[in-house]
Amino acid sequence: MHLTDKRFTEFDLPPELQQGIADCGFTHLTPVQARSLPLTLEGRDTAVQAQTGSGKTAVFLITIFNHMLRTPRRKTRGVCPRALVLTPTRELAVQVAQDAQDIGRHLPFRVIAAYGGVDYQKQRQAIAEGVDLLIGTPGRLIDYLKQKVYHLRDVELAVIDEADRMFDMGFIGDIRYLLRRMSRYDRRQSLLFSATISDRVMELSYEYMNVPELVEITPDKVVAEKVEQVLYHVSSAEKTSLLLGLLKREDWTKALVFVNTKRAAARLKPVLDAAGHPAAVLSGDVSQPQRLKILRRFMAGEIRVLVATDVASRGLHVEGISHVFNYDLPLEAEDYVHRIGRTARAGASGRAVSLACEDYVFGLDAIEEYIGHKVPVAWPEDDWFEPVPQVKRPPRPRGRSRSGGPRGRGGRKRG
């Protein structure tokens, strides 16, 4: 990550907040922080275009904590968070909440994350007991709001993170529902962050923000400079063999292996286990408590190989991922950038290895057009291919047909 000459200590921030920033190891600002923090700390509404991993989370968290330290809480009836952060995914909500705990470790504020897949009543009770900073996904936040567990009439700061993905995932209706129930646009500070500032994102900002400042950080390269990319053309039948060979040859610490389907992940994990590379799977089938457990073990180094679908391509920040393997080339060009962006973070270097088989090579042209250059191609030697251990194939998922109903014999939908 490129850093500027500007230091966090140059800002007039409360000592306890400066201490939390220093404890996180933050000294110099990234370009997006240097451009946007002076605006947000002045209380201006701001729309920021910046890539993932550019340091935008610290921008809004520092802004929120600075405001709450310097401004008395508004009088309100019932439970109302002083600040609300909306994220598109559970993983990103967890990550933002963890960053908030780290930066705000010396602060007296109550930070709560609300998202699906975990204890519903526990989250509900935590919010009902009072909250200063509420972070969550739209569905769960709306659920508790409709039950009047909390309200938004006196919210002081609102943040929409990864707005472009909110649109892609169909959350825009939910976002508008929440914004319409907040304090007036001129009685709150609103911040919006997006990898791309499209017309629809700008329309949202003009509709619900108070004359927002626009900050655009457009990197010279779509892919981080310190990511070394390489691509191998290989048949689908030999792909697993080559992956095992690369894991044997490459000098790696933690590896993130991306596949396109949950079934591919389920097939690959036992093979990696049998080959001496114990792995875990992160996909849409994994429950939220189990996801968090897997991520904690991966962060701690207890698991060195994580096989994941694109559920992990955004909002996952794990230090020390030296290698990203695209076992399957992604179906969307933008996902390639997000996937390989999981390595070479916080100034480190990393390596992104892609395996282009006949099933997914058709997406290579779109990827190269999107990143603006050819992915360097290398050719594996014959002795790079390792024998693939024979393992029992995982059973096919049962219980639901594609249309959602229970299956009878022969795969027919009952009733």
Clarify whether residues 113 and 241 are in a common domain. no
Question: Would residue 150 be called left, alpha or beta, if left means φ above 0 and alpha means ψ between -120 and 50 degrees?
Answer: beta
Instruction: Quote the tokens at residue 68.
Output: 């709450």
Residue 404 counted as domain residue: no
The answer to whether the beta carbons of residues 301 and 333 sit under 8 Å apart is no
Residue 135 counted as domain residue: yes
Residue 16 counted as domain residue: yes
Clarify whether residues 206 and 104 are in a common domain. yes
> How much is the pLDDT for 116?
86
Total tally of structural domains belonging to the chain: 2
Residue 117 counted as domain residue: yes
Q: Is the pLDDT of residue 415 over 50?
A: no
Clarify whether residues 331 and 279 are in a common domain. yes
Residue 406 counted as domain residue: no
The pLDDT of 308-326, averaged and rounded, is 81
Q: What is the mean pLDDT of the chain?
A: 88
Residue 1 counted as domain residue: no
Clarify whether residues 178 and 234 are in a common domain. no
Residue 175 counted as domain residue: yes
Clarify whether residues 114 and 28 are in a common domain. yes
Q: For the segment 160-217, what is each residue's pLDDT rounded down to a tens digit?
A: 998 888 887 888 899 999 999 999 999 999 999 987 777 888 888 888 999 899 998 7
The overall pTM is greater than 0.85 = no
The pLDDT of 20-35, averaged and rounded, is 94
CATH code of the domain containing 93: 3.40.50.300
Count of CB atoms situated within 10 Å of the CB of 199: 7
| Dihedral sign (CA 338, 340, 343, 344) | negative
Q: For the segment 67-96, what is each residue's pLDDT rounded down to a tens digit?
A: 999 999 999 999 999 999 999 988 889 989
Clarify whether residues 48 and 141 are in a common domain. yes
Q: For the segment 325-339, what is each residue's pLDDT rounded down to a tens digit?
A: 999 999 988 889 888
The residue segments making up the domain with residue 144 are: 8-216
Clarify whether residues 140 and 162 are in a common domain. yes
Q: For the segment 114-157, what is each residue's pLDDT rounded down to a tens digit?
A: 998 788 999 999 999 999 999 999 999 999 999 999 999 999 99
Q: Is the pLDDT of residue 406 over 60?
A: no
Residue 399 counted as domain residue: no
Clarify whether residues 97 and 167 are in a common domain. yes
